[in-house]
Structure formats: structure tokens, C-alpha cells
Amino acid sequence: MPFVNKGFHARRPTDGAHKLPPGQYETQDFPVLTAGPTPRIPLVNWEFRLEGLVESPAKWTWNEFNALPMQSFNPDIHCVTKWSKFNTKWRGVSLDTLLEHVQLKPEAKFVMAFSYGGYTTNLPLADLRDGKAFIGLEYEGKPLAPEHGGPARLVVPHLYFWKSAKWVQGLRFMADDEPGFWEDNGYSMHGDPWKEERYRADDEPTLDNARFRL
Amino acid sequence: MSRLDWQLATVTAIRPETPRVKTFVLTLPQWTPHRAGQHYDLRLTAPDGYQAERSYSVASPPEQTGEIELTVELIDEGEVSGYLFDGVAVGDQLEVRGPIGGYFVWPAGATDAPLLLVGGGSGVVPLMAMLRHRQRAGLRNPTALLFSVRTPEEVIYKQELEALAAADPTFKLLITYTRQAPAGWAGYQRRLDAAMLAEAVAQLPGAPQCYVCGPTGLVETAATLLQAQGLPDAAIRTERFGPTGS
């Protein structure tokens, strides 16, 4: 019989139109979580790159990037620290739009997102396609604030939000999966909140996961 | 069993730290040594199957084997902290898994390097695990804790911190009271600022490894000011408690 905490019950009814993944709770705030200081990136120096397993790399300056077709996105987002926020309002460039600018090599299966300040996070390429991911430039009608990842942030709302790399500088396409920053510190290689893939020990067992499964 | 499977811990003691903060001592059937700064996830299950999870930093050092101490702040409307405060007694069981987190941990390199800890409110909890580990392991690297609190009654671990500072000349305790200081207080009575961070760094004989934990505003301020002191980003590790960290 599953364990029950006697006398415990849900205190926060959630909006019926939205669903919470297991173990998450709804917040109205937008908490900030970062491993180190917030980098400040002058827009004149900013550039965004697609590199790695592509026939020829692509890069954009800030002005070039802002000339790309923009879309609005209103995803629910889920942080591994347990908060979820419903119906967030973004504008940005779909990854599908960016991928039209490069010819991927057939062996490209994974992506390392890399950021100003040195942050990295890994994702399967399939999780970035078909309208599932974008580069966010505006949040709630304003330029994205530095503490939330501005000037530009990768947003992959169907995965835990640490995969949505703040201060994103580019994407490197790879044949094999490699751990990024939090993944190398014990967090899941994939991070699907609906499967509660929080930590490496929650992932399917692999040789590389052995050290996280003592 | 995997290290991160859920396990049923038993509450063996509950200690009030401040009017809104309690420490829960949990005995674990599968205890593994943690690194100071790591956290555990705690899960509550209602009779209808509803579950709520939160992460809590471990306050105890890894030398305290077989059990962990979680120091929890009562959050307004907090469904987990509210239950822990009102619904949990010694002898009760709680589901936890951990230890978790590999970055906001000390030591993370040389144990003789200077160490600067900056905490706001309950952000002191993982820093306390570092100080307790440092003491229990007999380490004497030059260390300072700059601790920002609103009022005297909100100083978590006050007696232990003062005793540690009195007994260990290599540890400096710097408290700043941002709302109300004790009578006769000669120390800081303001929010963290550039001069305060510079003085904290100057307590130490060389560039420190820094750990900053607290509410987002405090962490942003402290990390930016430490950068301005010329410390490299890699020497500044942060952990932020949002206002919803219930």
C-alpha cells in the first residue's frame, strides 16, 4: 500500500484548463535560478550561431536575428525545483525557422546549447523541432530581462526549464549525447516533466549513468 | 536500491530555530554521505493520491551519519512547509530522496583556500552545512560568513554561529540587520552593498571561493558586487530561493 501522510491534502486548487506534471505546484511569480552571476551581454557584441554537424555554420548579429520571422508563444513552463507557471507570454524565433538556414548532416541527433557565461545543456534534436522550441527575445511584451536569460534565451517548454538555456549563444549539433552543465552535476539527460525525469538516476540505466546510481 | 529512490525517513527530533523556522532531524534507512550544500527532495502524499514535492537543503554535515537535518522556513500559504509545521511530530514518517546537486557544494577544490559565504534569511542553511563540515573535518581555511537578516529573532543558528566564531579565530561572523538591530548593536544595519562585500573579502587573506544563497534580489546584488571586486565568475556559486520556495 502506498505511503500516505495523514492529514495532508492539497491546498492550492489549480486552474482547470492547465495540468501540473507530477510533484509540481503552480506559481504566479517567475523565480530566478542560476548557478552563478548574471552575465550582461552588450547587443553590439551579441551573436547567435548554429554549428557542429552542419554543412556550413550559420550566424546572426542582433539586428539580423531580430529581422527573422517572429511568433508569439504562450507555454506552460516547469522548473525542476518544483514550480510550474501557466500561460507565459513570449515572442521569439521558432527553431524550425532557424533550422531552415542550415543543412544538417544526417548523423546529427543531439544538440548542445551553449551560453554567454559558459552554461551548457544537452537536448535530443527531435525535442527542438516541429514547433516545440524557440529562441525567446520578449517576455510579457518587454525585452527579456538579464536575470531571466536576456537578451535571448532558448525556450523548450515541454522539458524542465533548465534545458531552456539562458543567455543562449548558439547550438552545436552532435552525433552522440553529451552531458551539459547540470546534467554533469546529476540532472537528467532528457528532463521530461511528465515522466518526472529530474535526475540522472531517473533516466534509463546506461553505462554513463552508473556513477549516478550508487 | 538506487541512491535516488524514495525512502521512508523517521522524524527523531524537531527543533525550533526562529519563530518561523524549524529543523527536522530525519533518520534514514538508506543513508549515503552527502556533500555540504546538497539537498533532499521531500514528498507528501494525500489520501486521494495528490502529491507535493519540495527541495530542502541539508543543514547537517556528512560527519553526522545515519541521519540528516532539514531546516525549513514556514512559507505563507505553503502547503508543504505548513504541513511540516502543523502536522508532523516526532515519530512520524516522511518520504525523501537524495542527496541531490553537484555544483553548490563545498569543498569543490582545495580545502585550504579562503571561503566567503553570503547568506540571506533561510539561505544560510546550505552554508551552515559547509561550516559544520569544515569544523567537524578539522579544516581551518580562512572563512567568513556574511549573513543578512531582517531582525534579531530571525537569526537562524545564532548561538552555534556565535560559539563557532568565538572558538575559531579563522572564522569571521558578519551579521547585518536590515530592518531592526539588537540594542547596542555596533555592526552592520543595512542591506548588502559594495562596501560591505569589500570588507567581507578583506577579512580573508586572498581571493576567496564564494557561495551565495538567499532570495533572488540578495543573490543578484551579492554576485554582481563580488564580480565588481574582481572575482572570476567561476569563483562565485549561487543558489536562489524564489519567493515561492515553499
Is B99 exposed, middle or buried (CB count within 10 Å of its CB: 0-12, 13-18, 19+)? buried
**DSSP per position, B156-208:** TTHHHHHHHHHH-TTEEEEEEESS-PPTT--SB-S---HHHHHHHHHTSSSPP
Q: Is A214 on the interface with B (CB under 8 A)?
A: yes
Handedness of CA A15, B20, B86, A5 (dihedral sign): positive
User: pLDDT tens-digit profile of A152-206?
Assistant: 999 999 999 999 999 999 999 999 999 999 999 999 999 999 999 999 989 977 6
CB contact under 8 A, B77 and A12: yes
Q: What CATH topology corresponds to B115-241?
A: Rossmann fold (3.40.50)
**DSSP per position, B102-124:** SSS-B-SS-TTS-EEEEEEGGGH
The residue among B5, B53, B225 with the most chain A CBs within 10 A of its CB, best to mutate, is B53
Q: State how far Cα A28 lies from the chain centre.
A: 20
- Calculate the alpha carbon distances from B120 to A98, B124, B211 in Å: 42, 6, 12
CB contact under 8 A, A8 and B45: yes
Residue matched to cell numbers 532528457: A190
The residue among A27, A41, A81 with the most chain B CBs within 10 A of its CB, best to mutate, is A81
What letter does residue B96 receive in the DSSP assignment? Answer: E
Name the grid cell of A146: 538579464
Predicted confidence at residue B243, as pLDDT, reads 46
> CA torsion angle for B47, B52, B55, B56 (degrees, to 10)?
-50
Query: Which pTM value belongs to this model?
Result: 0.92
Domain A41-176 class, CATH top level = alpha beta
Asked whether the beta carbons of B229 and B207 are under 8 A apart, the reply is no
Distance from C-alpha of B211 to C-alpha of B217, rounded to nearest angstrom? 15
* pLDDT tens track, chain B, 246 positions: 466 899 999 999 999 999 999 999 999 999 999 999 999 999 999 999 999 999 999 999 999 999 999 999 999 889 999 999 999 999 999 999 999 988 999 999 999 999 999 999 999 999 999 999 999 999 999 999 999 999 999 999 999 999 999 999 999 999 999 999 999 999 999 999 999 999 999 999 999 999 999 998 999 999 999 999 999 999 999 998 754 333
Predicted confidence at residue A34, as pLDDT, reads 82
Of B102, B233, B245, the CB nearest to A37: B233
Predicted confidence at residue A213, as pLDDT, reads 47
Residue matched to cell numbers 536500491: B1
Q: What CATH topology corresponds to B7-100?
A: Elongation Factor Tu (Ef-tu); domain 3 (2.40.30)
Q: Which helix (H) or strand (E) holds A52?
A: strand A47-52
In single-letter form, the type of residue at position A51 comes to E
Per-domain residue ranges of chain B: 7-100, 115-241
ipTM score of complex: 0.87
| Shortest CA distance from B43: residue in chain A | A23
- Calculate the alpha carbon distances from A6 to A111, B48, B69 in Å: 45, 11, 22
